[in-house]
Structure 1
Amino acid sequence: MKYQASSPDEYISQLPEERKEAVSKIRQTIINNLPNGFKEEMSYGMIGYVVPHSLYPKGYHCDPKLPLPFMNIASQKNFIALYSSSVYAKKEIQNWFVNEYPKHCKTKLDMGKSCIRFKKMNDIPYSLIGELAKKMTVEEWIKIYEQTIKKDK
């Protein structure tokens, strides 16, 4: 589902009622736990957490005018999605998350390469999301990102 919003608050205001509280709570959890340097903004039509150009002037290699993405929250048709570059880019973080998830949720983990899907609004592991948000600093993300880009060239 695509929402036309210029701010995270505007994005949340457009969500179905049953999603507003959950997305707001995920958002606040990330804001409360994300290391210094990341910036919240609308990114790819979702609520995004990025490395701003002031810290990484090169921007995102696919479109250098855009800041380097790190995490996103999106309300999709059948679920809320949390996109996490740290889960995708660092196997140790992915393994940690997969092992911790059952300790926080009754539902089975529904996860893609960087996407974690939440279909049941009453079974979202907010504390686990907070721990995930803390796992990688801006500096570490830039270093991993640059190593990955060099491998691809």
Structure 2
Amino acid sequence: MQYKADSPEDYISQLPEERKEPMTKLHNLIKDNMPEGLESGMGYGMPAYFVPKSIYPPGYHCKPFPPLPFISIASQKNFIAFYHMGMYAKKELYNWFVAEYPKHAKYKLDMGKSCVRFKKVDDIPYDLIEELLGKMTVEEWIDIYENAIKK
């Protein structure tokens, strides 16, 4: 679902009541634990946590104007989405998350390459997400990203 918002807080304020608490909790968790150097704002119509142009001037290669994306969250029609580009780009991180998930949640993992879909908002594994946030630095993300686009 698309919301016209200027900030993550503005985005969250527009959500249905049952989504505000889990999205606020995710937003605060990410802001408090994201790798040093990331900034928060809006990207692609959702709350985003990205490598600012001051650290990585080239930005995102597909669209050089925006900064390099890393983490995003969104309230979709049937689920809350959590995106972590590091899991898409680093197979070991993806495998770690998939192996750890059942230890932290009651329901089956619903995941794409970088998107985790939480249909049961009362079963979001905040502790696992917090651990994931500490597993990749901004420098490592930039190195992985640059090596991938140079192929």
**Distance in 1 between residues matched to 2:120 and 2:99, nearest whole Å:** 20
Is the Cα contact below 8 Å between 1:32 and 1:130 reproduced in 2?
A: no
Superposition map of 1:52-131 within 5 A: 52-131=52-131
- Deviation per residue, 1:14-66 (Å, 9 max, x gap): 00100000001011111121111000010000000000000000000011110
Tell me, what secondary structure is at the counterpart of 1:32?
A: helix
Letter of the 2:71 partner, please give it: M
CA offset digits 1:59-97 (Å, max 9, x no partner): 000111100000000000100000110110001100110
Q: What runs of 5+ residues in structure 2 fail to find an aligned partner?
A: none
Structure 1: stretches of 5+ with no match in the other structure? none
Alpha-carbon separation, structure 2, partners of 1:4 and 1:133: 27
Q: How many residues align?
A: 151
User: Which secondary structure state, in structure 1, belongs to the residue aligned with residue 150 of structure 2?
Assistant: helix
RMSD: 0.6
Question: TM-score scaled by structure 2?
Answer: 0.99
Question: Kindly, what percent of the aligned residue pairs are identical?
Answer: 66
Alpha-carbon distance in 2 for matches of 1:126, 1:11:
20
User: Residues of 2 paired with 1:12 and 1:109: CA distance?
Assistant: 24
Structure 1 runs of 4+ aligned residues shifted over 4 Å read none
State the SS of the aligned residue for 1:111. Answer: coil
